[in-house]
Amino acid sequence: MPTTSFTPEEIQEFKRLLGKVAEEGYWFPDEETTRAFHKVASMWAPEIVIVRNGSKGREILLAVYDGGMKEFHGAWHIPGGYNMWPESDIQTTCSRVARREIGADVLYVRTLDSYKWQDGEHPYGHPLSLFVMCEPTEEIVETEKIRFFPVRELPLGLLGPHRRFIERLL
């Protein structure tokens, strides 16, 4: 097992700070701290896969990213987001993420695939994407930033790992 060069005092301080993170809702105080944490710890994130049969065959729901990661701003992606530690199951996380990303709730059906982001692909480090099939429980309203695309006509600017998932499995 690898050892660290932390002093006993540093170990105690690290444990104290992790305890404080837990007490304050399991999130970090700023973007820089969030990014630093993600460099050493992989968090999982459901990527909400919603498909339907359209006039041009199978279609997948994509959204334009407008969240906190400036590197992805304006890119098309499969709607997704991180699990928040207090969430007890994948359905809870999928519902929260879907309401935020597409304005509708979903029902988790099954996990289709997983992908651990590689060096340089993700600004936060190496998250684990879980591509999860979901069914909407209410109507999804399409807009300029939330649309169904034929799987054979994906938009430019689609995040690479998402494009590869669609091309491989759908």
- Looking at the fold, whether 139 and 86 belong to one and the same domain comes out as yes
Q: How many domains does the chain have?
A: 2
Element containing residue 46 per DSSP (H, E): strand 44-49
- Looking at the fold, whether 8 and 48 belong to one and the same domain comes out as no
2: pLDDT strictly greater than 80: no
Q: Give per-residue pLDDT as tens, 9-48.
A: 999 999 998 898 888 877 777 888 888 888 888 889 999 9
Q: Give per-residue pLDDT as tens, 131-167.
A: 999 999 999 999 999 999 999 999 999 999 999 999 9
Q: Are strands 57-64 and 76-77 parallel, antiparallel or unpaired?
A: antiparallel
Residue 138 is part of which domain span? 42-169
pLDDT at res. 63: 98
Q: How far apart are CA 2 and CA 118, in angstroms?
A: 22
Q: Nearest CA to 94 among 150, 54, 136, 123?
A: 136
Sequence-ordered list of residues with C-beta below 8 angstroms from that of 45, at least 6 positions apart, any chain: 80, 81, 82, 83, 127, 128, 129, 130
Q: Give per-residue pLDDT as tens, 101-125.
A: 999 999 999 999 999 999 889 888 8
- Looking at the fold, whether 31 and 90 belong to one and the same domain comes out as no
Sequence-ordered list of residues with C-beta below 8 angstroms from that of 151, at least 6 positions apart, any chain: 51, 57, 58, 59, 60, 166, 170
- Looking at the fold, whether 47 and 25 belong to one and the same domain comes out as no
